[in-house]
């Protein structure tokens, strides 16, 4: 830990943008087949090599004629021409239209020699061998001449054109089936850290292993930015292995990203490899998060590859990737900045800063008035280590280093994490509940933050969420409309028969796991303890002191039961339905009411109505659950 890098001289964010812009990461152009060209960017101008159409083409079904033969014809004074043959689309004409004659012709067929116009079938009558023509046509009528659509030699599409279906159409018309496009930058992703395990593999939590979040997340971001991600096998914290991997990635890619571990030893190894086997242009950026960012070049067998080291925490890694790296990948790929990547909204709360460096603040969005497209923006700060803030935030607000605070009501610009990101249609907060989880499945694009009943009510009062879900606890202080409710049976989830009620929990020598103070279920449990304390003539505190684990609290409704299941506890505060789902025994202690409260002014929001409809239609088939 002695040679640990402190990154004391942090570079300003502009310097990081410039350092990355100075790296060469534009790949060579390539040729792709037409059916894989959508979304790619033309590497060079395409001029038409052929006339389109390549021949004088009938625009309607009808009869090919000499225009002069029809002059003066109308409904009352038709002309009659001899029918000399037929020309179908896709066949070479085997007739010549001499004066006084005509040939049947299909839309798209070649105008036969001699003819200079087409009469549409609706203005003719077949007299059998002769055709009555009831309208006059001028030479050129109903004919598209060769090259009239696109002439050979003319400019069809310019370099840098992004290929959407319509450009694919023009290339098809020109017969181009191999399209010269800009290459996609190949971006190698090397993840580091002895503790990381690839998703799908077995995890040994006792060893402190965690799943590697950054590799697939950053890879998806690379694809979205128009690059081609290449995942390399995990490197541990070993110098030689890391050096070999980074050099291989530099050989094979235009840009190498390292990411993964948050531990100083892994970061140190990377740092040493870049210093010894490349150029370090910049280390440490005055951005929160992003202090440990590295920018440089990596030597490879042939030339050099660009290199950026991302922070280890997933939210930090994705934020730094989107802010500094994705724009460079898009530039290299020839893609424009996505138009919908920013939205503007009103800040919901007051936030203070005293950082001295630019902050990329993760924020969530909620539509406060969908009709007016009004967005509320609220900060999501769960600490950099929390992966849930990946999905609880929708983007970042760039807060300059000299900003002291953002006031509630201030207008802020949010850079979305992906162009695809939308504000959730419903923002709910409050109690963690299995029935609620199922009801949310019936709402399109909801977001639910299981912060507990007490914290949920607080947030409802502050005007951010659309609904708060409250168990037990009263909500009389908060202006809201009840959208629906149910009851759930609660008690002790146990293994064995040592605990058969609240008395035994207090009196027996058992290990207990409690819920946190924000949980409505915890308040209900404490109220039951109050009753027992009254009956025994002692204080609740006196009873609590006798419960081993009363202060051992967890935040999710299943967690106490899982502690029992894994033998880490004998009893846990929980629900009958959880005991049933995990195959554990259950000691019932009561029923509590769970209600969904709608925020004033939001109850007509479509997704809130969807949730209310789901509530009223709810087929409550969970053990211990009833309609309220």
Kindly identify the residues of this chain, within the stretch 435-454, that bind its own copies according to CB under 8 A.
Answer: 437, 440-441, 443-446, 448, 450
**Choice from 22, 31, 59, 303 touching its own copies (CB under 8 A):** 59
Give me the least distance between CB of 59 and its own copies, in Å please: 6
Per CB under 8 A, which of residues 19..58 are in contact with its own copies? 34-35, 37-39, 45, 47, 50-55, 57
**Choice from 261, 487, 495, 518 touching its own copies (CB under 8 A):** 261
Per CB under 8 A, which of residues 186..205 are in contact with its own copies? 193-201, 203-205
Residue in 492, 621, 619, 612 with CA at minimum distance from that of residue 549 = 492
Measured between alpha carbons, how far is 357 from 10 in angstroms, rounded to an integer? Answer: 9
Distances (CA, A) of 232 to 196, 280, 306, 324, 595: 13, 22, 16, 22, 49
Residue nearer to its own copies on the CB measure, 215 or 305: 215
Give me the least distance between CB of 532 and its own copies, in Å please: 28
Per CB under 8 A, which of residues 283..322 are in contact with its own copies? 312, 314, 318
Residue nearer to its own copies on the CB measure, 88 or 244: 88
Q: Does 88 bind its own copies (CB under 8 A)?
A: yes
Residue nearer to its own copies on the CB measure, 295 or 390: 390
Give me the least distance between CB of 387 and its own copies, in Å please: 4
Q: Does 269 bind its own copies (CB under 8 A)?
A: no
3-state secondary structure of 44: coil
Residue nearer to its own copies on the CB measure, 14 or 47: 47
Q: Does 606 bind its own copies (CB under 8 A)?
A: no
Q: Mask 323-362, x = binds its own copies (CB under 8 A)?
A: -------------x--xx----------------------
Measured between alpha carbons, how far is 16 from 293 in angstroms, rounded to an integer? Answer: 9
**Choice from 26, 135, 216, 403 touching its own copies (CB under 8 A):** 216
Residue nearer to its own copies on the CB measure, 47 or 479: 47
Distances (CA, A) of 210 to 193, 201, 204, 435: 10, 11, 8, 30
Residue nearer to its own copies on the CB measure, 167 or 254: 167
Residue nearer to its own copies on the CB measure, 48 or 281: 48
3-state secondary structure of 461: helix
Residue in 490, 457, 495 with CA at minimum distance from that of residue 474 = 457
Q: Mask 2-21, x = binds its own copies (CB under 8 A)?
A: --x-----------------
**Choice from 113, 175, 496, 600 touching its own copies (CB under 8 A):** 175
Measured between alpha carbons, how far is 579 from 164 in angstroms, rounded to an integer? Answer: 54
| Peptide bond preceding 247 in cis form (omega within 30 of 0) | no
Distances (CA, A) of 446 to 429, 430, 606: 11, 14, 11
**Choice from 228, 431, 432, 610 touching its own copies (CB under 8 A):** 432
Residue nearer to its own copies on the CB measure, 12 or 338: 338
Per CB under 8 A, which of residues 468..497 are in contact with its own copies? none
Measured between alpha carbons, how far is 24 from 16 in angstroms, rounded to an integer? Answer: 15
Supply 58's token pair.
């009938």
Phi/psi of residue 20, each to 5°? -70, -40
Strands 287-288 and 358-369: parallel
**Choice from 12, 85, 180, 236 touching its own copies (CB under 8 A):** 236
Cα dihedral 611, 614, 618, 622 sign: negative
Q: Does 520 bind its own copies (CB under 8 A)?
A: no
Q: Does 386 bind its own copies (CB under 8 A)?
A: yes
Give me the least distance between CB of 497 and its own copies, in Å please: 24
Q: Does 418 bind its own copies (CB under 8 A)?
A: yes
Work out the widest C-alpha separation in the chain, in whole angstroms: 121
- 147 CB contacts (<8 Å, ≥6 apart)? 51, 52, 53
Ordered alpha helix ranges (H), 309-394: 314-320, 326-333, 388-392
Per CB under 8 A, which of residues 522..551 are in contact with its own copies? none
Supply 152's token pair.
């050979």
Measured between alpha carbons, how far is 308 from 11 in angstroms, rounded to an integer? Answer: 14
Question: Which residue's structure tokens are 């992003």?
Answer: 290
Residue nearer to its own copies on the CB measure, 104 or 455: 104
Give me the least distance between CB of 180 and its own copies, in Å please: 13
Give me the least distance between CB of 529 and its own copies, in Å please: 23
**Choice from 223, 248, 403, 603 touching its own copies (CB under 8 A):** 223
Residue nearer to its own copies on the CB measure, 247 or 562: 562
Q: Does 228 bind its own copies (CB under 8 A)?
A: no
Number of residues that bind its own copies (CB under 8 A): 143
Residue in 403, 398, 365, 361 with CA at minimum distance from that of residue 382 = 361
Residue nearer to its own copies on the CB measure, 61 or 585: 61
Give me the least distance between CB of 216 and its own copies, in Å please: 5
Q: Mask 555-594, x = binds its own copies (CB under 8 A)?
A: xxxxx--x---------------x----------------
- Are 79 and 133 in contact by the 8 Å Cβ rule? The answer is yes
DSSP track, 86-152: EE-TTS-------TTEEEEE-TTPBPPTT--EEEEGGGEEE-SSEEEE-S---TTTTEEPTTSSB-T
DSSP track, 267-293: HHHHHHHHHHHEEEEEE-BSEES-TT-
Give me the least distance between CB of 72 and its own copies, in Å please: 22
Residue nearer to its own copies on the CB measure, 12 or 236: 236
Give me the least distance between CB of 508 and its own copies, in Å please: 25
Measured between alpha carbons, how far is 432 from 469 in angstroms, rounded to an integer? Answer: 8
Give me the least distance between CB of 535 and its own copies, in Å please: 33
Per CB under 8 A, which of residues 102..161 are in contact with its own copies? 104, 106-110, 121, 144-161
């Amino acid at each position: 830990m002695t040679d640990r890098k402190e990154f004391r001289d942090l570079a300003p964010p502009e310097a990081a943008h410039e350092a990355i812009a100075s790296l060469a990461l534009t790949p060579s152009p390539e040729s792709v087949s037409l059916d894989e060209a959508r979304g790619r960017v033309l590497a060079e101008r395409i001029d038409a090599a052929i006339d389109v159409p390549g021949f004088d083409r009938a625009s309607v079904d009808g009869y090919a004629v000499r225009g002069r033969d029809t002059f003066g014809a109308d409904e009352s004074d038709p002309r009659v021409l001899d029918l000399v043959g037929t020309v179908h689309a896709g066949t070479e004409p085997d007739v010549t239209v001499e004066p006084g004659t005509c040939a049947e012709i299909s839309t798209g067929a070649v105008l036969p020699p001699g003819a200079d116009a087409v009469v549409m079938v609706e203005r003719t009558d077949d007299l059998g061998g002769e055709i009555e023509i009831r309208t006059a046509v001028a030479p050129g009528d109903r004919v598209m001449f060769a090259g009239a659509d696109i002439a050979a030699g003319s400019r069809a599409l310019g370099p840098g054109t992004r290929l959407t279906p319509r450009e694919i159409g023009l290339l098809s018309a020109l017969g181009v089936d191999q399209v010269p496009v800009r290459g996609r930058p190949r971006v190698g992703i090397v993840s580091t850290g002895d503790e990381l395990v690839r998703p799908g593999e077995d995890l040994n939590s006792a060893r402190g292993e965690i799943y590697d979040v950054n590799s697939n997340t950053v890879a998806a971001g690379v694809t979205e930015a128009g690059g081609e991600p290449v995942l390399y096998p995990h490197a541990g914290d070993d110098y030689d292995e890391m050096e070999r991997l980074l050099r291989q990635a530099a050989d094979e890619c235009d840009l190498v990203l390292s990411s993964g571990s948050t531990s100083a030893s892994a970061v140190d190894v990377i740092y040493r490899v870049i210093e010894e086997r490349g150029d370090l242009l910049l280390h440490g950026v005055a951005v929160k998060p992003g202090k440990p960012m590295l920018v440089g070049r990596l030597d490879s067998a042939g030339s050099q590859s660009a290199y950026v080291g991302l922070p280890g925490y997933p939210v930090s890694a994705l934020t730094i990737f989107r802010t500094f790296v994705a724009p460079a990948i898009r530039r290299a790929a020839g893609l424009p900045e996505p138009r919908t990547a920013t939205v503007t909204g009103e800040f919901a709360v007051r936030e203070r800063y005293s950082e001295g460096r630019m902050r990329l603040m993760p924020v969530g969005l909620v539509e406060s008035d969908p009709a007016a497209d009004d967005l509320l923006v609220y900060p999501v700060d769960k600490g950099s280590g929390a992966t849930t803030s990946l999905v609880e935030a929708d983007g970042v607000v760039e807060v300059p280093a000299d900003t002291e605070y953002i006031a509630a009501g201030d207008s802020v610009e949010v850079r979305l994490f992906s162009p695809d990101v939308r504000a959730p249609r419903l923002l709910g907060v409050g109690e963690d509940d299995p029935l609620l989880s199922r009801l949310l499945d019936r709402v399109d694009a909801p977001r639910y933050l299981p912060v507990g009943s007490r914290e949920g009510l607080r947030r409802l009062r502050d005007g951010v969420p659309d609904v708060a879900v409250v168990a037990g606890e009263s909500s009389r202080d908060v202006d809201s409309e009840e959208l629906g409710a149910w009851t759930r049976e609660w008690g002790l989830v146990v293994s064995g028969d040592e605990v058969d009620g609240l008395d035994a929990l207090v009196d027996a020598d058992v290990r207990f796991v409690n819920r946190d103070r924000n949980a409505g279920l915890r308040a209900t449990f404490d109220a039951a303890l109050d009753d027992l304390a009254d009956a025994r003539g002692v204080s609740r505190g006196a009873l609590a002191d006798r419960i081993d684990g009363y202060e051992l609290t967890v935040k999710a409704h299943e967690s106490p039961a899982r502690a029992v299941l894994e033998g880490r506890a004998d009893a846990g505060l929980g629900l009958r339905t959880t005991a049933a789902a995990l195959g554990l025994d259950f000691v019932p202690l009561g029923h509590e009411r769970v209600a969904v409260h709608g925020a004033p002014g939001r109850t007509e929001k479509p997704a809130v109505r969807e949730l209310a409809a789901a509530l009223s239609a709810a087929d409550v088939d969970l053990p211990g659950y009833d309609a309220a």
